[in-house]
């Protein structure tokens, strides 16, 4: 009896250690599967050979060629324009929506909450087709402004999600104390609520900027003549074969997006 009791904890520890090892190696395998192709892409963006997959030397020439490509530069500025304005508009609307849903009760709140998060749930292709049909039905010509509208629509949901998470962790007693000291609703919002909410607002804005900059499916459907964004330009380039120039532009997009996401995560933790 005593020996059996002594052996049981040992078996439990062995089982726990075995399960932990399995989970560890499974996690490593998933990360390798996801990020090894990206690492290979980054490495071959410095390949001196035009043929992808045949390494002949290290060079920065493809980045120089990329910076001299007028079509890519124009697409980059279109992407930046759309990302900037969609971030501004969606951050304002998403923050207001989060405040309304988190702080107030009104008829139809549950329906509004569900509709707000639809862009996060539904597939991008469905979102792209429905947005295109809306513009066609309304007689709106496709341009960079239709891209902007589409990006604002799906970015509002992500901003509201981040800001609501911040609101849920805020101490309402600080706002009540400000009211007790004579501050009106607007002064309380500007001096108490907004400073506490700012890390969430900035994180949501960075997330919206990243999503807008990287979006391809929705942008591809609602883009008009002369409004080609960088992801759409990359797609048009790879139809003729993957080159080190495509690898270079993909590397720059990956690095830029990663930096923005890391900054967003740091601000959310703070």
Per-residue model confidence as pLDDT tens digits over 132-150: 999 999 988 988 999 999 9
The interaxial angle of helices 244-269 and 194-214, nearest 10 deg, is 160
Q: pLDDT confidence of 17, banded at 50, 70, 90?
A: low
CA 27 and chain centroid, separation: 22
pLDDT at position 5, please? 47
Q: What is the mean pLDDT of the chain?
A: 82
Q: Would you kindly state where each structural domain of the chain is located, as residue ranges?
A: 66-269
Say which residues have a Cβ less than 8 Å from residue 243's Cβ, sequence separation at least 6. 50, 52, 62, 237
| CATH dotted code for 66-269 | 1.10.3720.10
Give the gyration radius of the chain's Cα atoms: 25
Q: pLDDT confidence of 253, banded at 50, 70, 90?
A: confident
- Whether 47 and 59 have beta carbons less than 8 Å apart is answered as yes
Average pLDDT for residues 106-117, to the nearest whole number?
82
Say which residues have a Cβ less than 8 Å from residue 16's Cβ, sequence separation at least 6. none
């Amino acid at each position: 009896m005593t020996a059996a009791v002594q052996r049981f904890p040992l078996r439990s520890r062995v089982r726990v250690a075995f399960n932990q090892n399995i989970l560890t190696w499974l996690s490593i395998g998933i990360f390798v599967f996801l990020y090894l192709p990206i690492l290979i892409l980054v490495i071959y963006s410095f390949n001196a050979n035009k043929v992808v997959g045949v390494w002949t030397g290290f060079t920065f020439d493809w980045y120089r060629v990329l910076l001299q490509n007028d079509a890519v530069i124009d697409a980059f500025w279109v992407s930046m324009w759309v990302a900037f304005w969609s971030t501004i508009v969606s951050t304002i609307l998403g923050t207001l929506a989060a405040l309304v849903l988190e702080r107030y009760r009104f008829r139809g709140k549950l329906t509004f909450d569900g509709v707000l998060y639809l862009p996060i749930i539904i597939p991008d292709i469905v979102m792209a087709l429905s947005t295109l049909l809306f513009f066609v039905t309304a007689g709106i010509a496709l341009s960079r402004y239709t891209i902007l509208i589409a990006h604002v629509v799906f970015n509002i949901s992500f901003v509201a999600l981040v800001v609501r998470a911040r609101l849920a962790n805020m101490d309402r007693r600080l706002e009540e104390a400000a009211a007790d000291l004579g501050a009106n609703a607007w002064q309380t919002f500007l001096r108490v609520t907004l400073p506490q909410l700012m890390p969430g607002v900035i994180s949501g804005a960075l997330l919206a900027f990243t999503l807008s900059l990287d979006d391809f499916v929705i942008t591809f459907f609602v883009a008009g003549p002369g409004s080609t964004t960088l992801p759409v330009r990359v797609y048009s380039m790879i139809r003729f074969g993957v080159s080190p120039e495509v690898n270079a532009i993909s590397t720059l997009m990956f690095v830029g997006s990663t930096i923005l996401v890391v900054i967003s995560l740091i601000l959310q933790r703070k």
